[in-house]
Each structure stands twice: as structure tokens, then as C-alpha cells.
């Protein structure tokens, strides 16, 4: 049976931990509000731009621009995995890493290279010995559009150079404070929308472009890739803060429950000690 000093020491330690988890929950909630505002502002534009360009890609010749080129499905794949730099956010990082690993296993005949954003994913895949072409950590404290441009440039350069036949994004999509969903999006080549037979453009239909198609694609398609990467970074940032807030709230509640249980047990131990001392006093008095 533990002594009263040990029990009091454990209760003090749990109370200290509870203060930390409560503070981390408050900080995560504050950051979540800002991250949620940013993603709610950027998401409609990114979704609509992807919808328009997917429709455009299905109506034009894939040779119109290198980012539209559809290649055989046996070449190397570049997978961009976006995780957090820190832990203490529940299963957030584990879910993303598990989904990325499953995606790699699902393509056994294709070589896979990784571009890693976030310290947790970088450390895991580096220990596993994967082929890592690019890594970036410490960007979520001051996330900017320039970070997305840098990552998108790596993907575009590798794809246009023929080093990879496809580029995929693995990240956590923010749904709500209690729900985040790990998704895998094809970044390159730009996906072609399924228009259906009734909506397919008739043979011989000619489209008019102003300015020239080459200039439109050269300006618009790289920007589209940057925006989709930026949206993924914002989604991941909001999901991380939501997961951390939920995890710290659960930890705070669990610590309160542990404190109550230990306090009750400590009172029982103290009461047993007092009872034992009284019995000893009574037994001594009777012996006299």
C-alpha cells in the first residue's frame, strides 16, 4: 500500500500536468479559430478552380501543356505527405502516416519518392529508409503562400522533367473540430473531369482562346498547383489544431478523474491509518 506522501506527490504531479494540458487546449483553440478562418476563405476558391481546370483538361488535347500530359501508370510516383511538426495531437500524425504507407503498399510495382512536410512524417519515413527528395519543417508557425509555391515548384519541376509520372498529396482535410479526414489527391497530371457521353464535346468543335492557349496554360496551370498545395497546408494546419484541442481536452478530463480517484484512495488510506492508531491506543490502554 503506498504511503500518504507518495499519494500526495502523485496528485501534485497530475495537477501540474492538468494545468499544462488545459493551457495547451486554450492555445490550440485560439490558433484553430485563425486557421479555420483562413481555410474557409481559401477553400471555395481552390475547389472552384480545381473544378474549372479539371473540366478544361477533359476538353483539350493533353499535349497542350506538360502539366496535362497523361503518362503510363508504371513510372515513379512522387507522394507529398503533410504532417505536423509536433505531437500531443492524438492520432493526427499516425493516421496520415498510416494512409501514406498504405498508398505505397497499394502500388508495389511502382517506385515511390517522397516529399515530406512536417517533422513527424520526415522522422518516420527517414527511419524507414524511403527515397526522400524533399523535406520541409517548421513552416506551420508562420504559414505563407510562399511555402506552397516552393513545394509546388518541386512537384512541377520533377513532373515536367520526366522524373515522375504522377504527383499525389496526402493530408488531413478539416471537417470540424471533432472530425478530420485523411485524403489523397492527385496533384499532377491535372485530373480530367468525367463529363459523360452526353456532355462530351462533339467532334470538330473548335474553342476560341483569348489570349493564346499556350499563354493561358502557362500562367494558370502552375498557379492551380500552387493553390491546391496551399489549400492542403491550410487544411492540415486547421486539422492539427483541432486534433490537439480535442486531445488536450480529453487529457484534462482524464487527469481530473485520476485526481478524484487518487484523492478518494488517499482518504481511505488515511482513514485506515487513523483507525489502526486508535486500535493500538485502545489495545495499549486495555493491557494496562
Q: Which residues are catalytic?
A: 89
C-alpha cell at position 35? 486557421
Rounded distance between C-alpha atoms, residue 30 and residue 32, angstroms: 5
Q: Are 1 and 203 in contact (CB under 8 A)?
A: no
C-alpha cell at position 165? 509520372
Q: Are 131 and 202 in contact (CB under 8 A)?
A: no
Amino acid at each position: 500500500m503506498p504511503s500518504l506522501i507518495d499519494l500526495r506527490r502523485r496528485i501534485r504531479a497530475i495537477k501540474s500536468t492538468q494545468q499544462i494540458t488545459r493551457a495547451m487546449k486554450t492555445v490550440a483553440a485560439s490558433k484553430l479559430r485563425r486557421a479555420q478562418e483562413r481555410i474557409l476563405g481559401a477553400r471555395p476558391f481552390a475547389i472552384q478552380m480545381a473544378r474549372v481546370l479539371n473540366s478544361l483538361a477533359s476538353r483539350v488535347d493533353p499535349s497542350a501543356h506538360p502539366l496535362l500530359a497523361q503518362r503510363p501508370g508504371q513510372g515513379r510516383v512522387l507522394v507529398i505527405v503533410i504532417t505536423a511538426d509536433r505531437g500531443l495531437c492524438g492520432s493526427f500524425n499516425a493516421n496520415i502516416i498510416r494512409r501514406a504507407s498504405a498508398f505505397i503498399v497499394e502500388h508495389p510495382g511502382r517506385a515511390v519518392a517522397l516529399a515530406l512536410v512536417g517533422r513527424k512524417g520526415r522522422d518516420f519515413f527517414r527511419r524507414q529508409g524511403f527515397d526522400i527528395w524533399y523535406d520541409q519543417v517548421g513552416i506551420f508557425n508562420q504559414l505563407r503562400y510562399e511555402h506552397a509555391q516552393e513545394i509546388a515548384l518541386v512537384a512541377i519541376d520533377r513532373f515536367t522533367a520526366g522524373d515522375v509520372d504522377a504527383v499525389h498529396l496526402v493530408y488531413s482535410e478539416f471537417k470540424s473540430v471533432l472530425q478530420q479526414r485523411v485524403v489523397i489527391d492527385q496533384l499532377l497530371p491535372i485530373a480530367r473531369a468525367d463529363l459523360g457521353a452526353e456532355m462530351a464535346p462533339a467532334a470538330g468543335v473548335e474553342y476560341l482562346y483569348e489570349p493564346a492557349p499556350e499563354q493561358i496554360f502557362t500562367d494558370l496551370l502552375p498557379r492551380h498547383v500552387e493553390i491546391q498545395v496551399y489549400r492542403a497546408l491550410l487544411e492540415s494546419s486547421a486539422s492539427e489544431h483541432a486534433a490537439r484541442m480535442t486531445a488536450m481536452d480529453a487529457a484534462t478530463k482524464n487527469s481530473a478523474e485520476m485526481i478524484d480517484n487518487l484523492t478518494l484512495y488517499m482518504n481511505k488510506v488515511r482513514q485506515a491509518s487513523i483507525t489502526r492508531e486508535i486500535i493500538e491506543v485502545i489495545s495499549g490502554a486495555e493491557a494496562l
